[in-house]
Structure 1
Amino acid sequence: MDRPVRRQIPATRALLVFDAIARHHGISKAAEELCLTHSAVSQQLRLLETQLGLRLVQRHARGTTLTDAGRRYHAQVAGDLLRLENHTLEAMAQRPDGERLLVGAVPVLAERWLMPRMPRFLAQHRASSMHLQVFPTHIYMEEPAFDIGLQYDDAIWPGATAHALMREECVAVGAPQARGRREMARGDFRAVNLLQLSSRLGAWQDWFAHAGIARQPDNAMAGHRFDLFSMLVEAVRADLGVGLVPHYCVERELARGDLVQVHPFKARSARGYSVFVGQGKADDPLVAAFLRWVLTEAAAGQA
């Protein structure tokens, strides 16, 4: 019989004591935070140092400081303790009488398209809870920890099954008080400040070509740049220029009149979104229900 593997992991109490000492630069304040005696904290520190074979803390008259080894070790374990706490809180938050759905999504799609519609799904599944996480774009994830994901069509998720969700349609929007609105409506963008999304610097050129607009700025890739669509939309609201965004991204602003479509052309982008179902998740009743629902919502919006 194989001998059990003994993991070289210190006691959690000892790590918590060390973390408190490192943060407070002293044993007394660490003891106060942890509701322990001074001697109990000192004992846990000695046990940890003995197990590691390292001096982690240097004691002196004015308190304590971390040794070089102590600083390196604390930088590593502090994040591990935070992750352990988050995992524990997540487990505690699960409802024993319900189901949890772990959804990964592109942030802009989650915020602007999915979330306004989610109450309808949750109303049909009142005993369930949803955990929504960011599904990174252009980052390879060997095994995403999602039940189901909403991403661009070209996302890579090994073993997942993809279902086409919807195409992306982009519109040019500006603030209601934007100068040159009449000119833009007629297809004259020569005097316009174009706002750029950092990951789509050629988007305006493509949009102009498909819209048949010849009167363009000298450099369609110049202008303020933003990493996120949410930043770009706020820049448009502040009247810093005109933005090119997916229509679903500004549905609410257009309906309220906070933003206006400065030109009637709506470009059907080559990009689209798909729903990815994780390997082995297709038979999960909640995953299957969410898949049916989200595909129905998308179809209704494109009807």
Structure 2
Amino acid sequence: MDRPDIPLNALRVFEVAVRQGSFTRAAVELRVTQAAVSHQIARLEDLLGTTLFLRTSAGLVLTDEGQALFPVLEHGFDAMARALDRIGGGHHVEVLKVGVVTTFALGWLIPRLAAFREAHPEIELRLSTHNNRVEIGREGLDMAIRFGGGRWPGIEAMALVEAPMSPLSAPSIAASLRHPDDLAQHVLLRSYRADEWPRWFEEVGAVCPPLTGPVFDSSLALAEMAARGESVALLPVAMMGRQIEEGRLVQPFGRMVSTGRYYLTHPAERAVTPAMRGFAEWLRAEMAAEAEG
């Protein structure tokens, strides 16, 4: 098969521009000017004899030709990056980039990283945290751990662990909480998932009071506010072990409600690499060991 005489740099610029969704952000990632990005895209379109982007008031929109080209290039550049990572410096190491929702990272994964490195010295795990909103391809990740119901368009999801939720507060507030109805006397902090408090009150057979407390997109922020004695937060108890052990947070009620699970996810069309498989199998084994113990 004849290989087209297309400059690799132009193809790389196109791939980054699609992931970033704009020439400006692509220029930042590539450390060049926006004009240089525009020039490379125009050159590529000229060489291919077709338009790859439509410039609209809403931003860049891929043409059919652009949509056909992008996944091929994305997979190709990912494969090259993995190969270069493995042989770089003479060490056969595969880099795995994983985005992890911050609550799970601090509450479960980070304390076990040493065990993972010991079990898989051939994998260099590079973590980045997120607030449960993550775009694997656009952020240059291989996989992501997120919380939810397990269904995301175009995503393969492996269930890890449930995270039942219960009200947590500072000891000073917990002392005044004898019955779920007592929560109505305090500020109830909310996450962006609006159904969590109503579901907990339904679980305990009580009426949910009007929810007027501030809304956060981070469980860690909720936990910090609650620990300061200013309010009560509904939190995944298993991920708050350190704060509970330190006595900063108390669980006044034993009843919990499950609103979802943590999942290990990756794009459905992406080929599973040995590092991805190794990380998934290690997580599965750790979760099984905890369930048994």
Q: What's the secondary structure of 1:230's corresponding residue?
A: helix
* 1:113 corresponds to: 108
* 2:279 corresponds to: 290
Counterpart of 2:258 (choices 255, 268, 281) is 268
Letter in 1 for 2:187: N
Letter in 2 for 1:102: K
1:299 aligns to 2:288 (yes or no):
yes
- Alpha-carbon distance in structure 1 between the residues aligned to 2:98 and 2:135: 17
- Alpha-carbon distance in structure 2 between the residues aligned to 1:8 and 1:277: 27
Counterpart of 2:232 (choices 218, 222, 242) is 242
Change (3 A) 1:213 1:128: same
Q: Counterparts of 1:50-61 in structure 2 under 5 Å?
A: none
Letter in 1 for 2:282: W
- Alpha-carbon distance in structure 1 between the residues aligned to 2:217 and 2:254: 26
1:195 aligns to 2:189 (yes or no):
yes
Change (3 A) 1:142 1:128: closer
- Alpha-carbon distance in structure 2 between the residues aligned to 1:117 and 1:74: 38
Q: What's the secondary structure of 1:243's corresponding residue?
A: strand
Q: What's the secondary structure of 1:200's corresponding residue?
A: coil
Per-residue deviation, 1:234: 0.9
Change (3 A) 1:258 1:182: closer
1:169 aligns to 2:164 (yes or no):
yes
| Structure 1 vs Structure 2 CA RMSD | 3.7
Per-residue deviation, 1:138: 5.4
1:233-280: CA deviation from partner (whole Å, max 9, x where unpaired): 1111111100001123311111221211021112122x1222225545
Per-residue deviation, 1:162: 2.6
Change (3 A) 1:183 1:195: same
Normalising to structure 2: TM-score of the pair? 0.64
Structure number with greater Rg is: 1
Residues 131 and 217 of structure 2 are in contact (CA less than 8 Å); yes or no, is this contact kept in structure 1? no
The unaligned stretches of length 5 or more in structure 1 are 10-72, 84-89
Residues 136 and 143 of structure 2 are in contact (CA less than 8 Å); yes or no, is this contact kept in structure 1? no
Residues 85 and 94 of structure 2 are in contact (CA less than 8 Å); yes or no, is this contact kept in structure 1? no
Number of aligned residue pairs: give it: 226
Per-residue deviation, 1:227: 2.4
Per-residue deviation, 1:140: 6.2
The unaligned stretches of length 5 or more in structure 2 are 11-22, 34-81
Residues 135 and 150 of structure 1 are in contact (CA less than 8 Å); yes or no, is this contact kept in structure 2? no
Letter in 2 for 1:195: L
Q: Counterparts of 1:1-303 in structure 2 under 5 Å?
A: 4-5=5-6, 77=27, 80-81=30-31, 96-97=90-91, 98-134=93-129, 137=132, 145-151=140-146, 152-156=148-152, 158=154, 160-178=155-173, 181-187=174-180, 188-197=182-191, 199-214=192-207, 216-217=208-209, 219=210, 221-269=211-259, 271-278=260-267, 279=269, 281-282=271-272, 284-303=273-292
